[in-house]
Structure 1
Amino acid sequence: MASITASSLSLRTAPPHCRQIAGTSKLSGSRMVSFSYQGRNNFSSRRLQSLRISCAAKPETVEKVSRIVKKQLALPDDSTVNGESKFSTLGADSLDTVEIVMGLEEEFGISVEEESAQSITTVQEAADLIEDLILKKGA
């Protein structure tokens, strides 16, 4: 699901699974995004300069990350791990988090920079980062 946040200085291209609600075009070297609601354009280009699009990862990506986290932390099959699950709450220390990131890199065929890896605290953040990296890799 896509969300719009005001007061941001940058625009990001929405991932492919969110493009049904956000399209992009290039104008004067800057990214422009048009939004439509009931067939009408609700935002002027001036207002767009202060908006940011963010899009949550696909549910299947969150599920896959959850399975990898459960496996890396040797959690019981009946334990609940979802997008909101924090690694620290699941009992992960810094070494566990490094191993989780390594498992995700191997599973998804991506490379996570150390700075990005250190900022991941939840399953949802990991899934969002993975989809962003996959999108950049394909570009």
Structure 2
Amino acid sequence: MASVTGSSVSLSVSVKQSQGISRAANVKAFSVSFNGNSFPSLRVQPTTRRLVVTAAAKPETVTKVCDIVKKQLALPEGTEVAGHSKFAHLGADSLDTVEIVMGLEEEFGITVEEDSAQSIATVQDAADLIEELIAKKD
């Protein structure tokens, strides 16, 4: 059983095989438990035995976003800004958030659509969106 735990979310995945566990490529079915709720077993089709895992943004992306947020909000030296930091808790209003997004667009050479910009609440949200947009761009 594999388990991934975040700051507020816990995800467990149990892997079952019809003939024992020997290789990940032989996975036939798995079940998912999310925050104590179990979901039915999911089956892997013979043609789709590939498992894709999406990871959070790179640490260096999160660091750059933190630096831009600190600069845009003119936060005092020593103010902690991390992936879990919410813009609202740092004192950002809607105009500040727009300015942060503009700074991110300039720094990373991306364009953030208005719908996507409205879904950004934390530094991690911004970093994940940046990674996604950079991947689409390439």
- Please report the TM-score for the alignment, with normalisation by the length of structure 2: 0.67
Alignment root-mean-square deviation, CA: 2.6
Select the structure with the greater relative contact order (CA < 8 A; seq sep ≥ 6): 1
User: What does residue 59 of structure 1 align with?
Assistant: 59
Structure 1 residue ranges, 4+ long, deviating more than 2 angstroms after superposition: 37-49, 51-54
Q: Distance in 2 between matches of 1:94 and 1:43?
A: 47
Q: Distance in 2 between matches of 1:57 and 1:125?
A: 9
Q: How far does the alpha carbon of each residue in 1:48-74 deviate from its partner, in whole angstroms, 9 at most, with x for none?
A: 58x874310000000000000000000
User: Which one has a bigger Cα radius of gyration?
Assistant: 2
The residue type equivalent to 1:47 in the other structure is R
**Structure 1: stretches of 5+ with no match in the other structure:** 7-36
Q: Distance in 1 between matches of 2:44 and 2:95?
A: 41
The residue type equivalent to 2:62 in the other structure is V
> How many residues are aligned here?
104
The answer as to 2:50 corresponding to 1:47 is no
The answer as to 2:99 corresponding to 1:103 is no
- Please report the TM-score for the alignment, with normalisation by the length of structure 1: 0.66
- Go from structure 1 to structure 2 and tell me whether the alpha carbon gap of 1:87 and 1:110 turns closer, same or farther (over 3 Å shift): same
Q: Distance in 1 between matches of 2:109 and 2:96?
A: 19
Q: Distance in 1 between matches of 2:78 and 2:71?
A: 12
